[in-house]
Amino acid sequence: MATLSAYGPWAVITGASSGIGLEFAEQFAAAGLNLVLAARSTDRLAALGRRLSTAHDIDHRVVTVDLGDPEGATSLVDATEDLDVGLLISNAGTGRPGRFLDQDLSDLHDRLTVNATAHLDLAHAFGRRFVQRGSGAMVLVSALGAMHGVPNLAHESASKAYILHLGEALHHELRPAGVQVTVMLPGPVDTPTLDQFGFDRTRMPMRPQSAAAAVRQTIQGLVAGHATVVPDRRLGIITRLTPHRVYTRMNGRMMGQAAATLAAREARKATPERRP
């Protein structure tokens, strides 16, 4: 972990208020890096920054930003212009399981901005900064579903595939300039996203990986110079060995069940409670 400081004294983390982004903040702070914490929830970021600064004697900066806004990434880049940033964790993402044609087109466009365009903008801006300073590193957080088109999650698997291919290409393009790029491909990770997607944890075929383990293995892969990291080695093996058609059908069925659970949950909330 001490080798992380070789990239630079400051790290920018998007989606830092929960889940994988929060765990990156925890482990980077423990390694002595100063943090730029970016997300939409100011209060949660401020509380996190204060806690980590006190525990690890680091500096932090909170940047409240909505990366679903087309100008969101630019505002984050501008807010860090005065800092010697050497690490970017482009982690923010969103999604909703369900049939593609059942979803509102404007919502799909908004989610595409978060899941692909924001990563593009941040990788371009910080990539130029890192090349100019002669060193730096990026982790672009994709998803294991990016390796296949997943039914009932078509939009997200497609947008995450953009991140995967962008990061793999930049791994080779930027390496001669001293910039390391690694793509993280997490499967189910024990974060609030599982519940937001409508997953029934008791019916999942495998226990979700802890966020701490997923982030720790990704950092190890980054430092080792890997282009991609599937943090849960069990899932990496299953993905390689399972025939494409079987994998696609299996994951599509699981996403369909999650979508049905989510729809039922929302219907219950929308139905007024009857009084006896």
What DSSP string runs through 166-217?
Answer: HHHHHHHHHGGGTEEEEEE---SBSSHHHHHTT--GGG-SSPPBPHHHHHHH
Better-scored residue on pLDDT, 266 or 231: 231
Say how far apart CA 1 and CA 119 lie, in whole Å.
Answer: 25
**pLDDT above 70 covers what percent of the chain?**
95
Give the domains, in start order, of the chain with CATH numbers: 2-268 (3.40.50.720)
Say how far apart CA 245 and CA 206 lie, in whole Å.
Answer: 20
**Predicted local confidence at residue 273, as pLDDT:** 58
Say how far apart CA 94 and CA 103 lie, in whole Å.
Answer: 14
Ramachandran region of residue 43, left (φ > 0), alpha (ψ -120 to 50) or beta? alpha
**Predicted local confidence at residue 255, as pLDDT:** 78
Q: Find the range with the poorest average confidence among 24-33, 49-58, 183-192.
A: 183-192
The per-residue pLDDT of the chain, averaged, comes to 91
Q: What is the DSSP letter of 219?
A: H
Please name the residue that has the structure tokens 């060193």: 135
How confident is residue 274, by pLDDT bands cut at 50, 70 and 90? Answer: low
The DSSP element (H or E) to which 112 belongs, if any, is: helix 105-112
Tokens of 12: 């920018």
Better-scored residue on pLDDT, 266 or 81: 81
C-beta neighbour count of 201 within 10 angstroms: 11
**Predicted local confidence at residue 185, as pLDDT:** 96
Span 180-215, pLDDT tens digits? 999 999 988 888 777 777 676 666 667 888 999 999
Phi, psi of 133 (to 5 degrees): -85, -10
**Predicted local confidence at residue 202, as pLDDT:** 66
**Predicted local confidence at residue 199, as pLDDT:** 72
Q: What is the pTM of this model?
A: 0.89
User: Is the distance from CB of 184 to CB of 229 less than 8 angstroms?
Assistant: yes
Ramachandran region of residue 264, left (φ > 0), alpha (ψ -120 to 50) or beta? alpha
User: Is the distance from CB of 63 to CB of 81 less than 8 angstroms?
Assistant: no
How confident is residue 257, by pLDDT bands cut at 50, 70 and 90? Answer: confident
Please name the residue that has the structure tokens 């399972």: 242
Beta bridge partners, 139, equal 89, 182
Say how far apart CA 240 and CA 246 lie, in whole Å.
Answer: 12
**Predicted local confidence at residue 233, as pLDDT:** 79
Q: What is the DSSP letter of 63?
A: E
Span 133-174, pLDDT tens digits? 999 999 999 998 888 889 999 999 999 999 999 999 999 999
C-beta neighbour count of 2 within 10 angstroms: 8
